[in-house]
A and B are shown apart, each in its own frame.
Chain A
């Protein structure tokens, strides 16, 4: 109709103009630099974090929570995943500089920056740190890192910009730094007077409204968890507008990226790795982190059969690491000792490898008094040798490894039964009741060598094997407090050598980290950290989406 035609043309012209302008100009931020914007959708297998408490109880300390806290929080200092040492990065660290350390190594004095503020505009002061410490250190608040906090003798804040942390005893520099800087601020003006752990009285626990980090949570549901950019962020403004974590199942995670419904597949089954590499729109990265998780076989040293080191060595000599790497779709590297190869600062390459040698295995068993009767290995009293291998059914790789062990040990004449248990039950039997012969372990070696104390020390809480070597206990205690780096290295070198000589457990392979990004996502590159979001020098601030 002629009457409306001009109107129609005007409207479409306006529309055209509007769409041009919005596409052409990137969104401006108050700082003046142009920001690219965009929504990063992440397919994750972890589900939603149920609780977003900065000081979670053990049951909430999950990967989704770690992701969330990385986006929502700021810390005093951070680990530099390239140098593997602590540093202060002005883009996102609250401290002005590295702390001043007292001569006895026990007292750390931090000075806060002047321009730091919460997302609601209030300044972040030392009172927020004091508030956090006062509550997190209470045993009844059940903070998962309480045992670290218990090494702190006093935590004081003499003025709004200063924090003084004194440890109970002088620890090794790296360890001490991590503990002293471990407290992050909690907005006192929001949390004060509210219960620390009860979300009914304190809805901040389920969904914080005031944060110190670059992103604020927007929606938390079973389907997805979304974070939007904090417009009042004091640090380097992130390029992205929003990050959405979408819950996916192992089969659909990669499909989400294929169908452009997600730009980043955080985790996906290793068996899909080669397929992922063939998808032209995806950039699939794999790398070996300094702290990685490795698979190991753990022996219950309390069992008479396994108390004999010759038997243990025979059993591990029947294992070919090359086979296991094949089972991990070649996404693994051999692991010989307690620390991953990527942890270049601490790894001792001079440990016993126990390479595959079936003949040696057989002769060791013979030496230990076991004889092969046909195809059945028998002990001195004529009883056939049996072992039970335990694994959690939730882990396909461990299941495969267990089946592999069964087959390999069959060649030695050992009747191995493979028992799969549901995860909680598995852990209960393996860790709590310690009722097992062999169990498939999966360990994450941290960056600091002291991290394995709970597995190695005689009284360690994760010591399922029953390993007890007083020399090792002594060395671990010494290493924890040794200030000199050189001496510390030789202490832990000896620990590694001794433990591998004793062979209470057998590390097999370390998994490589891998993930897949849509090629649209720019600025992504892994470092020596094990996680590209949480252990990557806050690289997420520089990530952007190409239009």
Chain B
């Protein structure tokens, strides 16, 4: 186990470095840097552009720029955002808490999918299963951004209000502002969980050991909890691995529509405006989150299904 852990940690560090380098290379190799936005402005002269590029170090030869950036990243400095003028981590700091709030609440919605999937599997073919399947399928077929806009229009037309931004006047206000964006974000996850869990539970239900457990006279909740649930969790764990980064990267579109100050929007903005220091920092953090998430998922596999052994 220790060996496995160490191996994975080394792998992850290597991967992180590789991805950071890859992204850095991308930023250098693409045309149209941050100055492109101003080329249309008649007040900007070529000298202005040249000066801007020099200050951002955009004309440094690639190895030099890379070395500079890598050292700054290692010291957690990451340079200065071109457009925010502050260290990228500082800019991200303001967005982390709202993003985590949104993500956690969305996750709570998503996790509801697990019991739904179990219920659907248990009652396969009968009304509860059909209803749940219809619901998940319907939600799945609609683009989230469209759903978000529809909700806003509906709310606006019916109660004459819709949430935008964070709610600051007390817990009720906070709740009414966060419930809709998190619901929209969480539904996608809920649908995924429901479907995967249903599929796995159906697999498990037909197993001999379940029948044996029941034949032994074990109460249903023990059969469900100890035998069925644990064995159905495999795909859930897989999905979990991807959840940590999605928590942080947020959903750029939903955040934009609900004016939620989240990380997703920041990422989109940094990519569109080519704010390289900020972009590279966000990507590094996201990568780290994903790697950690996957490592946890893999460790959880071993716990959930003892047959999976990490040998050698």
Contacts and interface: CB of A to CB of B under 8 A. Distances in A.
Q: Which of A248, A258, A424 has the most CB of B within 10 A?
A: A424
Interface string B248-277: 000000001101110001100000111000
Nearest to B265: A222
B48 A432 contact: no
Interface string B261-301: 10001100000111000000000000000000000000000
A223 B48 contact: no
B165 A246 contact: yes
A61 B83 CA distance: 11
Given A248-B259, A255-B162, A427 B32 contact: yes
A142 B51 contact: yes
B94 interface: yes
Contact of B153 (A144, A249, A255): A255
Contacts of B165: 223-224, 246-247
B157 to A, nearest CB: 9
Contacts of A246: 164-165, 259
A534 to B, nearest CB: 15
A58 interface: yes
Nearest to A443: B42
B174 interface: no
A469 interface: no
A59 B34 contact: yes
A60 interface: yes
B43 A199 contact: no
B309 interface: no
Interface in A47-63: 50-51, 57-61
Contacts of B51: 139-140, 142
A145 B260 CA distance: 34
Contact of B42 (A139, A146, A462): A462
Given A424-B33, A425-B36, A428-B31, A249 B257 contact: yes
Contact of A451 (B42, B49, B265): B42
Contacts of A425: 31-32, 36
Contact of A58 (B33, B48, B161, B265): B48
Interface string A285-329: 000000000000000000000000000000000000000000000
B45 A461 contact: yes
Interface residues of A, number: 56
Interface string B135-174: 0000000000000010011001000111011100000000
Given A50-B84, A59-B83, A223-B261, A259 B43 contact: no
A222 B95 contact: yes
Interface in A243-282: 246-249, 251-252, 255-256, 258-261
Contact of B45 (A140, A147, A255, A260): A147
Interface in A476-503: none
A252 to B, nearest CB: 6
A58 B52 contact: yes
Interface string B195-231: 0000000000000000000000000000000000000
A58 B257 contact: no
B85 A206 contact: yes
B160 A259 contact: yes
B161 A428 contact: no
Interface in B177-200: none
Contacts of B130: none
Contacts of A451: 42
Given A222-B265, A246-B165, A424-B274, A454 B85 contact: no
B257 A427 contact: no
Contacts of B36: 423-425, 427-428, 431-432
B41 interface: yes
Nearest to B46: A461
Given A51-B83, A423-B36, 6 more contacts: A223-B261, A252-B164, A255-B156, A427-B37, A452-B42, A454-B45
Q: Across the A-B interface, give the 3 residue pairs with the lowest CB-CB distance, nearest first.
A: A428-B32, A222-B261, A424-B36
Interface of A: 50-51, 57-61, 139-140, 142, 144-147, 197-200, 205-206, 221-224, 246-249, 251-252, 255-256, 258-261, 422-425, 427-429, 431-433, 442-444, 446, 451-452, 454-455, 461-462
30 contacts: A50-B83, A50-B84, A58-B35, A59-B35, A59-B38, A59-B52, A140-B51, A142-B51, A145-B43, A197-B85, A200-B86, A221-B94, A222-B266, A249-B256, A259-B156, A259-B161, A422-B32, A424-B36, A424-B272, A427-B32, A427-B39, A429-B31, A431-B36, A432-B39, A442-B40, A443-B42, A454-B42, A455-B42, A461-B45, A462-B40
Interface of B: 31-49, 51-52, 55, 82-86, 94-95, 149, 152-153, 156, 160-162, 164-166, 256-257, 259-261, 265-266, 272-274
